[in-house]
Amino acid sequence: MKYSFIITYYNRDIVFHNTLLSYEHFYRNRHDIEFIVLEDKKTVKDKREHEKLLFVLEPFFDSLLIRHEEMDFDNLTCPCSTLTYGGNIAEGKFLVLCNPENMLVSDIINGFDVEFEKNEDVYVVPACMRVSGKPQKWLKSFDDYLFKMDGRWIQNRKLKIGRNLNHCTAISKEIFISLKGFGTGDLRLGGADSYFIKRVSRKYKIINRDDLIVLHITHENVLNNLEYQETVKILGGRK
């Protein structure tokens, strides 16, 4: 396995569906990528939210190599402890650290391939734009969304925006393990992702690729029961 997407999931059913559509669009024919979905303990305990996640995942098992794990430990104040767990169990040589609301609009893996071929000991950071509107609604297909650069940059090296946080950033598993992932000390301090980047930058080169674009779909107020029920009706009552 070459790549493992490490995805921490908590109550993001609609935007995660759209994210999975983008993974399927770019990578359904690549057989060297796995997608590890780590379900937050709070969602596992909430039967309704747990069923929403299963509903979202089911259509993609035939086109993507998905590993779904239900977490049984607390995530403190952020999902970084689950990212660390995912990195430890991943089979890929390289890890892609991401969130369920990170929809792709470009083939980031192709860019990662280029960078890791030159040097495996780097941390690769795509550009990231925060968007709202249509990606917050349940898309029937990837082509239902036409990206028009109509968001706000939150990671763009050329514009000097961002802190290289984990919006589909890539690093070798060997380096990630050597750094002990996000580290228990980082987790106690809070802002664990920021501390992780600082530890990476002390020893390894950070490569920014502004031509590789990831979206961060704003997720406030997208989880409403009425929309979920309408989605179930549209897709034939599958629960």
Domains in the chain (CATH in brackets) are: 3-234 (3.90.550.10)
Q: For the CA atoms of 7, 12, 18, 24, what is the dihedral angle to 10 degrees?
A: 30
What percent of the chain stands above pLDDT 90? 73
pLDDT band at residue 78 using 50, 70 and 90 as cut-offs: low
Instruction: Give CA–CA dist 140/157, Å, rounded.
Output: 33
Copy the structure tokens of residue 178: 């050597």
| Residue-averaged pLDDT of the chain | 88
238 CB-contact burial (10 Å; exposed 0-12 / middle 13-18 / buried 19+): exposed
- Dihedral of CA 41/46/51/53: which sign? negative
Whether pLDDT at 234 is above 50: no
Q: For the CA atoms of 234, 217, 196, 160, what is the dihedral angle to 10 degrees?
A: 160
Q: Return the pLDDT at 186.
A: 54
